[in-house]
Amino acid sequence: MKLIGKTLSVLAVAALLAATPAFAAEDGRREARDIDFSFEGPFGTFDRAQLQRGYQVYAEVCASCHALRFLKFRNLGEPGGPEFSAAEIKAIAASFDVRDGPNSDGEMFQRSGIPSDAFVSPYPNDQAARAAFGGALPPDLSLITKARKGWEGTLASLYTAKMFKGSGGPEYIYSLLAGYQDPPADMPAGPEGAAYNPYFEAGPWIAMPPPLSDDGVTYGDGTKASVDQMARDVAAFLAWTAEPKMEARKRLGFQVLIYLAVLTVLLYLTKKAIWARIDH
Which residues contribute to the site for other proteins (CB under 8 A)?
Answer: 1-2, 4-5, 8-9, 12, 15-16, 19-20, 42, 70, 75, 139, 142-143, 146-149, 155, 162-163, 166-167, 169, 202, 242, 244-245, 249-250, 252-254, 256-257, 260-261, 263-264, 267-268, 270-271, 274-280
Compare residues 91 and 269 and give the one whose CB is closer to other proteins. Answer: 269
Compare residues 2 and 182 and give the one whose CB is closer to other proteins. Answer: 2
Shortest Å distance, C-beta 72 to other proteins: 8
Shortest Å distance, C-beta 101 to other proteins: 20
- Residue type for position 224: K
Shortest Å distance, C-beta 8 to other proteins: 7
Compare residues 109 and 159 and give the one whose CB is closer to other proteins. Answer: 159
* Cα–Cα dist 77/82, whole Å: 7
Q: Which residue from 207, 67, 216 is spatially nearest to 142, judged by alpha carbons?
A: 67
Shortest Å distance, C-beta 138 to other proteins: 13
Sequence-distant (≥ 6) Cβ neighbours of residue 160 within 8 angstroms: 153
Q: Report whether 196 contacts 190 (CB < 8 A).
A: yes
Q: Following DSSP, what letter does each residue of 86-134 receive, concatenated?
A: HHHHHHHHHTSEEEE---TTS--EEEE--TTSBPPPSSSSHHHHHHHTT
